[in-house]
Structure 1
Amino acid sequence: MRNIPPMNDTASPQTTSSERTYSGVAISERAAVRRQRFIQAGITLFVSNGYQATTMRKLTAESGLTNRYFYESFQSMEDLLIACYESLMSDFRDQLKTVLDSASGEPEQRIRAGLTCFFQAMSKPEFARITHSEVLGVSPRVEAVYSRYTADFAELLMGYLSPAADVPSSENSTQREYVGAALAGAVINAGIVWVRSRYAASLEEIVDATLTVFLGTANQLQR
């Protein structure tokens, strides 16, 4: 997560030609900083206490902001959970694309690099718990967000598996969708089992295990 600078909310207002400011900082920018502070506080509390046990009192104490500022950016605690989830997943997706795009060598090496990136993320409690535990079973709305990001992850995986299997990305879109969903499910479930085992296997072992699923799928697609 990004470091958020402290902010003095008692600063005196100033007026500029474009937007009202406080101590030279635009109101919209200060609101964005406050929002990010709530997201950071939410991530901390959802990991340590769990989503269901996180109260407004705990959240304002952790963030150092009042509930008035909370409702400036969020309508409910569920909104904050979604924002925390999307922030973590967005950071992960950016990192994953960077890793995959910069990986050299055969497609197998790119897939290995991508799997390593995912399991490294799963080794961090805030990512593993919030993105694959706390968001589950909350509401249909949260489930829809989770499903959307999982489908996006599956599409990204297939984008890098298809060259390994020598399968054009436009060929059999239905098969591509379901194969991607199956692979994403396999990787995510392997990650969950790994977390619940308290990382009994090494990073290299879990990557090797899931890589066999990808290589077997690639071989099958080539037939």
Structure 2
Amino acid sequence: MRSRPRTYGGRSTEERRADRRGRLIDAALAIWGDQGWAAVTMRGVCARAGLIDRYFYESFADRDALLTAVWDQVRDETVTLIFAAIKDSGGGPLDRLRAAITAFVRSVEADPRRARVGFGEHAGSPVLEQRRHDTLRVFTDLMVEAGRPHFRADVDEDALRMSVLMGIGGFVELMTAWLAGTIPVDAERIIDHATTVGSELALRHLR
């Protein structure tokens, strides 16, 4: 006969473990967002999360595993946000582009610390450098597939992907400069400009 899962305070062991893991990720995100990834340490994260050291190793093999988990969570939430904005836009490809840009810029405006995960300095961390490259590919694929129904039948796939990469790379640099205060404009101006430039890159590939 299978035994029932043990519960503590009305929660199972798995639920309590998941809660601790979530608290560690949240603590690491807060430290990373305020001070950069290099400031994320096992002891610092545990202290902020209010957990003892052994609970860190319950969920993560080392600091790199924690940093990867934070990155993946922020990336996945961002992809979900942008995909929902594209789906709900209800317009043509350029309307979808503006919806995606608007959703992202507004999310960064609401919580700039999250942007520092993706836009911050990652030199010295091979794990984060690889994640950055992988995430660029994820967002390139997302934008290409979102626009595919509207591309010309004879579209040059290589040229298309190069245009998307240039657009995303330039957008990242624009957001980085905006967050640093180098470009003293409001969010709406950023959205308008990014949409205009993105549209210019996209038009050559559209029907």
TM-score, normalised with respect to structure 1: 0.82
Aligned to 1:117: 103
1:159 aligned residue (145, 160, 163) = 145
> Does the alignment pair 1:82 with 2:68?
yes
**2:42 match:** 56
Equivalent position amino acid for 2:34 in 1: S
How far residue 160 of structure 1 moved from its aligned partner, in angstroms, is 3.0
What code does the residue aligned with 1:167 have?
Answer: R
Distance in 2 of aligned mates of 1:96 and 1:46: 23
Whole-angstrom CA distance in 2 between matches of 1:17 and 1:172: 60
Deviation of 1:163 (Å): 4.4
Could you tell me how far 1:139 is from its partner in structure 2?
A: 2.3
Q: Shift in Å at residue 104 of structure 1?
A: 1.9
Shift of 1:158: 2.0
Does the alignment pair 1:176 with 2:160? Answer: yes
Q: Which runs of 5+ in 2 are unaligned?
A: none
The residue number in structure 1 matching 2:169 is 185
Q: Does 1:203 align with 2:187?
A: yes
Could you tell me the percent identity over the aligned residues?
A: 28
What's the counterpart of residue 7 of structure 1? none
Cα distance in 2, alignment partners of residues 32 and 50 from structure 1: 25
1:1-223 to structure 2, matched below 5 A, reads 17-123=3-109, 124-134=111-121, 136-164=122-150, 166-168=151-153, 171-197=155-181, 200-222=184-206
CA RMSD after TM alignment: 2.2
The one-letter code matched in structure 2 to 1:48 is D
**Aligned-residue offset at 1:173:** 3.2
Higher RCO (Cα < 8 Å, 6 or more apart) = 2
Kindly provide the CA deviation profile for residues 163-199 of structure 1, in whole angstroms up to 9, marking residues without a partner as x: 45x335x954323332222221122111111111266
Number of aligned positions between the proteins: 205
How far apart are 1:91 and its partner, in Å? Answer: 1.0
Alpha-carbon shift at residue 34 of structure 1 (Å)? 0.5
Q: Counting helix residues as a fraction of each chain, which structure ranks higher?
A: 2
